[in-house]
Structure 1
């Protein structure tokens, strides 16, 4: 049985599974009545991904919002960042995204957006949860029930905002041919629109499944999960390939030789394009590669690190006026366009970087610092991980330790971050060093310590 997970990354659970682990239409309706009450009514944008359960949960979500007196602005199927951009641009009271992002197909969830066009902060989430617990909901009479309005230009609004950015002015875009693997998800239409608007030719790759809602591969856009796209790019002699997660906030790239660069490279390439134009603070999470620090040093700008989670990164960016931020999972945050991880914006950055430098992606990728990163997961209760922190510290002594978010181990020539996931009932382990075998040995060592009785 699954377990509902409710964090600043939203609410996620296994669809229609028996309580207490299931995300049912009844539960979604109640929570959305609560959200409508929490924001005090008004216009609320609702977007969704292409999971088979998303249409069902959309109906439940809108029922709850209407019951609370909200007017629903239906954005249809669109990437998560498209919802956040439209909430701010259309001056709405809030927004809800129906998605479970990178979780498996049988999961779904709700992401809650404030009127500022960002996800609820930790403090706002705490207040929202208290309201849900007390069930102190506002419901309107039948005469006060509002309507559902379609917003057919949601994706168009997003693309226009990107193309108007000062970062992309005066750059003549090359006529590239690009492979797209959107994991049969919400980014498909948006990235196609972006490429066509820039005069590029999109070539779609769907893997083994073409039915919407069915993932043709594992949903995270890691290098290991993009082997199909990599082969496609090489066979078709495309200029590069783009791989998204199902809700389009994360992306990674494949170069023209068919090499998948990995999720970490997405932010590093973005830094290489943005910082020469506007040098300023960079904000990332504790798990993100230390290659960020090396690139930032080239431009004499500071790097700030936060707990894992977009909400923490965004809060710090606002505090220090960060120029660019993101996470090592393929997420890039460019606040002048969108104060959220935005895979469509990250794609636009790469296209303009390739055009500006007039070099193939493989050559540009060689300019970013090289670290070998390994990621692993363990099906281990968070409580058990906490009980074994002292053993991990003993096993990695005399390294330095940071316990702000799980356990970050900083050695002379390596880093390992171990933490409970915010979105799944697992422990995540991320290790990096200059040598691939050494990095793999770090993962093995952590697993041995955590699984040994």
Structure 2
């Protein structure tokens, strides 16, 4: 074992690798991660010198982490092609555009400063899923590295190639006035220019790059960020507000009245819009998403099917790929557009563009369009603390309890559970379309709780109280990050 090497095994998460830099991983640890990834890429591609696209986000320490990662990759024989400061989707796009063998993007996305991580993938348009992460973890921690000699080259001007690709395919006819908020993250040098390029009038909010994130973390699920966008939309009388996360693969949307539209509802609106021209399509959504997809008349009239699947960009991406779905939508704001609309990966800017197309196709405001959806009462995503080493077992026990409650026909707010879905934790539904979800978070020591009811706010709360009661009885669940 190398001396002074630091790499916490828990950093290898379900589909991302994330650590607190220098506390849980140091430069030697990152270098070994590069060796592990390089070895894995060579093993899967069966090439001695596979080409790996590498990029980094705008955090103060991302470049030094990228250097260490590249050093590891090169030592295995990988040929590194560095596209510089990037968004995650820029790196994914580069793999297609430059026909490379794999990608490694240095980013901790929307996590607070101090965090770092790598998003990586071998098959085009896909990122590591649990099997690949497990394999990478074993290679890296056991130091089973291939030795080789790789070359490095820098690819200049790739940012513009990525921007032009999105602009040229997506011109709109209406002058849509859009607030574009980037929380001082890397999307600031991409999103305003692209949205202007397709024909929007752009009002920039915190688009200057500042790795200290002076106002709030660039996270479209963060209420502080959403409130800032809402204010800017109202102050500027804008048609729409977009908020991008730190590495540009997610978007949050605010309508023209300043109201947040949960991403799963945006997904449903986009799916409806697409279903008219792409009949008989499949859509994939995650288990945190609204139950409206399952009952939507527009989708069923156009013979479209919706599949509820595991939460996580890697899971939804793969499911979109294997099911040959037209698109996938995740509650957290990751949207995936497959051919002919995209390459199947998540790109927050492309998602915002699809919202612009929605406005471009209809002579209505965003608020009027959203009002066409049935109203539902939905909680935000709530994350009560639960230790990494205990969370999966806690969920397994709760699955058994909820199944027993269903079998015994025990009523919750005068309703029996009619359906249980266990692809990811447990999502239990009722006849009226209400549902509750309990799952383990894949990137934090916490559980994830969501409830929704099309019937009443009261019912939504009752389902939450039922879940909260089950959690408290485990004795293994702590404080919530936010709570209704």
Q: Mark yes or no: TM-score above 0.5.
A: yes
Instruction: Choose the corresponding residue for 1:71, options 73, 79, 83.
Output: 79
Q: d(CA) in 2 for partners of 1:191 and 1:354?
A: 18
Q: Identify if the C-alpha distance between structure 1 residues 239 and 13 changes in structure 2 by more than 3 Å, giving closer, same or farther.
A: same
Query: Which structure is higher in RCO with an 8 Å CA cutoff and minimum separation 6?
Result: 1
Partner of 1:386: 396
Are 2:260 and 1:260 equivalent residues in the alignment? yes
Residues of 2 paired with 1:371 and 1:151: CA distance?
A: 48
Instruction: Tell me the residue number matched to 2:421.
Output: 402
Worse overlay, 245-254 or 100-109: 100-109
CA contact (8 A) 2:335 2:346 kept: yes
Q: Paired residue for 2:468? A: 447
TM-score (norm 1): 0.89
Q: Is the 8 A contact 1:81 1:338 kept in 2?
A: no
C-alpha displacement of 1:328: 1.5
Equivalent residues of 1:3, 1:13 under 8 A apart: no
Alpha-carbon distance, 1:228 to partner:
1.0
Runs (5+) with no aligned partner, structure 2 = 1-7, 43-48, 411-415, 476-484
Q: Secondary structure at the match of 1:339?
A: coil
Determine the structure 2 residue equivalent to 1:212.
Answer: 211
Shift in CA distance, 3/448, structure 1 to aligned 2, threshold 3 Å: farther
1:162 to 158, 163, 166: 166
| Alpha-carbon spacing, 1:197–1:45, altered in 2? closer, same or farther (3 Å) | same
8 Å contact 2:264–2:329 — kept in the other structure? no
Q: Is the 8 A contact 2:15 2:129 kept in 1?
A: no
The unaligned stretches of length 5 or more in structure 1 are none
Q: How many residues align structurally?
A: 439
- 1:312-332: per-residue Cα shift (whole Å, max 9, x none)? 223322332211112121121
1:298-353: CA deviation from partner (whole Å, max 9, x where unpaired): 42211122222223223322332211112121121111212112111111111122
TM-score (norm 2): 0.84
Matches within 5 A, 1:135-174: 135-140=143-148, 144-153=149-158, 155-165=159-169, 168=170, 172-174=172-174
Whether the 8 Å CA contact 1:5–1:422 is kept in 2: the answer is no
Is the 2:58–2:209 contact (alpha carbons within 8 Å) kept by the matching residues of 1?
A: no
SS at match of 1:376: coil
Q: How far does the alpha carbon of each residue in 1:54-83 deviate from its partner, in whole angstroms, 9 at most, with x for none?
A: 223112212212222223222222221111
Structure 1 residue 145: Cα displacement: 4.5
Q: CA RMSD in A?
A: 2.4
1:342: which partner in 2? 347
> Are residues 1:240 and 2:230 paired?
no
The equivalent residue for 1:222 is 221
Deviating beyond 6 angstroms after TM superposition, the runs of 4 or more aligned structure 1 residues are: none
Q: Could you tell which deviates more after superposition, 235-244 or 441-450?
A: 441-450
Q: Following the alignment from structure 2 to structure 1, what is the Cα–Cα distance between the partners of residues 271 and 238?
A: 24
Match of 1:44 in 2: 52
CA deviations 1:347-384 (Å, max 9, x no partner) are 11111221121322111221233322212111023033
Indicate if the aligned counterparts of 2:126 and 2:318 stay in contact, CA closer than 8 A: no
Q: Which residue of 2 aligns with 1:114?
A: 122
> In structure 1, how many angstroms separate the alpha carbons of the residues matched to 2:155 and 2:310?
37
Q: CA contact under 8 A between 1:326 and 1:341: conserved in structure 2?
A: no
Once the two structures are superposed, the pairs formed by residues 247-286 of structure 1 within 5 Å of their partners are: 247-279=247-279, 280-286=281-287
Deviation per CA, 1:429-449: give whole Å up to 9, x if none: 111112233223322331222
SS in structure 2 of the partner of residue 156 of structure 1: helix
Asked if 1:417 is matched to 2:434, the reply is no
Structure 2 counterpart of 1:328: 331
Q: 1:308 aligns with which of 301, 308, 311?
A: 311
